[in-house]
Every structure is written in C-alpha cells, then in structure tokens.
Homo-oligomer: A and B are copies of this chain.
C-alpha cells in the first residue's frame, strides 16, 4: 500500500471520475487506473463500481475512504510539524556550564538571547566538567561551556576567551599592595581551593606546579564566593580567574604574572550531533561573545 495510491483513491472518490482525478493528480489516466487496480488487488476487494460512465464507491470503498483521508492528513501533519519546528527559532536549548563560569559569564548572553528569540527556552544545567561531559554524550544537553582544553575525538570546541589569574589575599597581607606577583612568592602560604571535582582546582594546582609550588590546602569549597569570604577573614590566600574577581573591602587581588597562568573557557558540542535552528542560533550567539587575544 503506497501513499500515492491513497492519494489517487481519494481523488477518484472526490471527483467521481478517473479522468478528472488524473487531471487533479497531474498524472495520466491509465497510470491512475493502474494504481487503483493495484490497491484493490492488495486489499482483495473492489473499491469502485465502474458503471459505464459513472464511478461509485463500493461498500468497501466507503469504509476505506475515511481511513485513507485520515492517513493522508496525518502524513501532512507530521511533515508540517517538523517544518514548523524547523522554521521557527524556537524550542528547547539545553546547555551545561561549570560552576566557576556560570554566575560570571552566563547572565548577559542568556538575557540577550532570550530577548532576541523570545520563543526559545533555555535550560541551564550547572555541574562539574565530568558530569557535564556525560550528559553531553548522552544527548541530555546540546552544548557545554567549560574550561579548555578538552581531550576527546568526538568533540567540537571553540574558545570563548582566555583570562588571567589573580591571587586573592586579605587586604592586610604583606603582598597585597603589589601590582603583579609571581606564584613562587606564594610558596608556604596557606591555600584555599575548590573541591576536587572542580576543574579550576586542577588549573590552579597545575600553574603552581609549573612554578614549583605545592599549595598547602587549608580549606575547600564548591564556590568562589565562599573562598573569597574565607580569604577576607584571613584564613589564607587563593587563586581565581579574572571573572571571579569581585571587589570586597576585605580582599585584595594581584595579577599573577607567571607565563601561562591563565584559564581558557570555551564551548563544546558533540561531533555529529544535529542541532536544531535554535540550538544553532544559540551557538552562533555564543560565538559573538568570544574575545580572541584576551
């Protein structure tokens, strides 16, 4: 049973003539006759009575007609729905962001995108890198914003920006007045760091390692704001990316001057993953926020 056979059948039913049906369906009359016969053969019943000049539905034809119409209607509806979803920059976009980026970077792009495409609904999942990658591969999120670089042959990435790192210390600290600092100067300082599954912890430890510094960790947290408060209270010092720098009366920030003491954030998508128009639009939107050489 083929779609065009149903179309032809409905056309004959509605025009009451093979000839007129053929005209309507833009096909030669014998071709249409042939397809109707084939349909009748498959069903095992006659659908039309050919009574000389007139063609009329048989009882079976009358039973079959509404069903054929329904099927053609649903075929069209299915196609239309897909087209509808395709044409509109609307629908869901699920993104993932790590906690050390989310509150600093995301608000502005999100707000602007929502204003530009009110039909779009963006869903943000805040989680650590490892779990975000799982979700990305599982298709639960469409893209993720996290720290670069990332290993993985099944991924596609682009960088958003590279930020310098800052040492944060109590205002009264002896190094607090400097404009720049080398990490080796921080040797033996008590360190406050993020918890283990946060990638910026690794970043911080990595840059320290390059400066031959092994940080002595005295406090761990899941968010910078806790660390900032603790540093302000004089518990020790820490390292944060530029975007986490927030003026506080009890803290001072000093730029870290070491080579490669930076964090790069970027966007990652799954290679081969098909993105709808909204999803593509959001990706493009993020591109406009990338700042090369920064």
Chain B: minimal CB distance from A46 (Å): 4
Knowing A45-B86, A78-B64 touch, does A51 contact B272 (C-beta < 8 A)? yes
**A49 x B139 contact (CB < 8 A):** yes
Considering the complex, give the chain B residue whose CB is closest to the CB of A65: B78
Complex Cα distance, B270 from A215, in Å, reads: 101
Knowing A70-B74, A78-B64 touch, does A43 contact B276 (C-beta < 8 A)? no
Contacts of A78 in B (CB 8 A): 1, 64, 67-68, 71
Determine whether A81 belongs to the interface, using a CB cutoff of 8 Å to chain B.
Answer: yes
Residues of A in contact with B, size category: 35 or more
**A60 x B82 contact (CB < 8 A):** yes
Among A37-66, those with CB < 8 Å from B are 42-46, 48-52, 56, 58-60, 63-64
Determine whether A273 belongs to the interface, using a CB cutoff of 8 Å to chain B.
Answer: yes
Considering the complex, give the chain B residue whose CB is closest to the CB of A84: B63
Mask, A225-255, CB within 8 Å of B = 1, is 0000000000000000000000000000000
Chain B: minimal CB distance from A50 (Å): 6
**B56 x A1 contact (CB < 8 A):** no
Considering the complex, give the chain B residue whose CB is closest to the CB of A279: B59
| 8 Å CB contact of A50 from B77, B86, B272 | B272
Determine whether A259 belongs to the interface, using a CB cutoff of 8 Å to chain B.
Answer: no
**A52 x B154 contact (CB < 8 A):** yes
Contacts of A276 in B (CB 8 A): 45, 58-60
**A274 x B58 contact (CB < 8 A):** yes
9 cross-chain pairs, A with B, having the tightest CB-CB distances, nearest first: A46-B274, A67-B78, A58-B274, A43-B82, A51-B272, A49-B273, A71-B74, A49-B274, A45-B86
